[in-house]
């Protein structure tokens, strides 16, 4: 789904760089691995691969451009320009990247004879690209536009509707390219969703750390001055000892969490420390709402 960009205006260059990097990763996966192996794993890229096979004079980039243009028009009619936002750019930019790659580095055949290896890259590269794009609050366009229209005007479960459409494209590919290719496409369709979710969580993952220490002031200085982070401090009472202790809760990156643990190992080896992974932290110093 499309969301408003999470970067402020002053960070527009960073936002644009990440958006285009994500689209480029997706385009590379489509051109180098999906197209030569006929991996039509749903979505607009899957339909484009099939259409390019049925009409050899039409390349995948051109087919992708036509399909995305039609979807953008539908999006503008049913959703409006404000809702579509950067999705319009993403739709055409992805098509352009694929078309340029087709001109610069044609792929008449796969890199290797190992179809499973090719499938891994066909899933991984677009998944990384999609994760980067989603992480900055944008969309790759295509079937996301259909999803937004369905969400607005129907009571359908969008995820299920898109999965059904992807499977229909996979069945089409299986009938056109053979059962083996169809099964690879089906495997890739399910793997794609899992890998995208995993990549997004990996990008956003932080460590939520709770510390009980006998040297609270030293811990506070380390968090504030060395890690440049803050913490929530509260008083708790031990159930066994009945003794009141100060408890610190903070959110850190992986590197900062390791630094804090090493500090406690030196400064207070008897400190009690819990570390919990969080897939997303929203608030000052992290991601905005």
In SS3 terms, 104-117 reads as HCCCCCCCCCCHHH
What count of residues does the chain have?
A: 289
Percent helix / strand / coil, the chain, rounded to 5:
65, 10, 25
| Mean pLDDT for the chain overall | 86
Alpha-carbon distance 141 to 144, whole Å? Answer: 5
At 156 the pLDDT is 64
Phi-psi label, residue 221: left if phi above 0, alpha if psi -120 to 50, beta otherwise:
alpha
- What are the start-end ranges of the H helices in 30-157? 35-37, 43-54, 60-78, 81-84, 87-104, 115-135, 143-153
Quick one: which H or E segment has residue 216?
Answer: helix 216-221
Give the mean model confidence (pLDDT) for residues 247-256.
Answer: 89
Under the banding of pLDDT at 50, 70 and 90, the label for residue 206 is: confident
First vs last C-alpha separation in the chain = 16
Closest to 79 measured CA to CA, from 89, 90, 87, 68: 87
Under the banding of pLDDT at 50, 70 and 90, the label for residue 249 is: very high
pLDDT at 4 over 50: no
Cβ count near 265 (within 10 Å): 11
At 55 the pLDDT is 93
pTM for the complete prediction? 0.74
Q: Which residue has the higher pLDDT, 288 or 215?
A: 215
Give the mean model confidence (pLDDT) for residues 37-64.
Answer: 92
pLDDT at 242 over 60: yes
Grouping H, G, I as helix, E, B as strand and the rest as coil, residue 84 is helix
pLDDT-above-70 percentage for the chain: 88
Give the mean model confidence (pLDDT) for residues 178-207.
Answer: 84
């Amino acid at each position: 789904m499309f969301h408003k960009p999470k970067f402020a205006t002053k960070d527009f260059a960073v936002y644009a760089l990440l958006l285009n990097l994500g689209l480029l990763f997706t385009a590379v996966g489509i051109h180098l691995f999906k197209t030569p192996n006929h991996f039509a794993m749903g979505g607009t890229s899957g339909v484009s691969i099939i259409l390019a096979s049925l009409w050899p004079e039409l390349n995948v980039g051109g087919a992708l451009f036509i399909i995305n243009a039609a979807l953008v028009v539908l999006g503008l009619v049913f959703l409006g320009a404000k809702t579509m936002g950067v999705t319009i750019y993403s739709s055409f930019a992805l098509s352009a990247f694929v078309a340029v790659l087709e001109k610069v580095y044609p792929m008449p055949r796969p890199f290797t004879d190992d179809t499973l290896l090719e499938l891994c890259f066909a899933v991984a590269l677009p998944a990384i690209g999609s994760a980067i794009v989603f992480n900055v609050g944008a969309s790759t366009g295509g079937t996301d536009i259909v999803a937004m229209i369905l969400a607005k005007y129907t009571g359908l479960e969008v995820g299920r509707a898109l999965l059904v459409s992807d499977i229909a494209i996979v069945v089409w590919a299986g009938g056109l390219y053979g059962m083996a290719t169809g099964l690879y496409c089906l495997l890739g369709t399910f793997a794609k969703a899992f890998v995208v979710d995993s990549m997004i969580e990996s990008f956003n993952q932080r460590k939520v750390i709770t510390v009980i220490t006998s040297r609270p002031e030293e811990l506070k200085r380390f968090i504030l001055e060395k890690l440049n982070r803050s913490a929530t401090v509260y008083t708790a009472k031990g159930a066994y000892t009945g003794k009141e202790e100060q408890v610190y809760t903070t959110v850190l990156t992986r590197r900062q969490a390791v630094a804090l643990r090493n500090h406690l190992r030196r400064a207070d080896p008897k400190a009690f420390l819990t570390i919990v992974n969080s897939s997303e932290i929203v608030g000052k110093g992290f991601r905005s709402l």
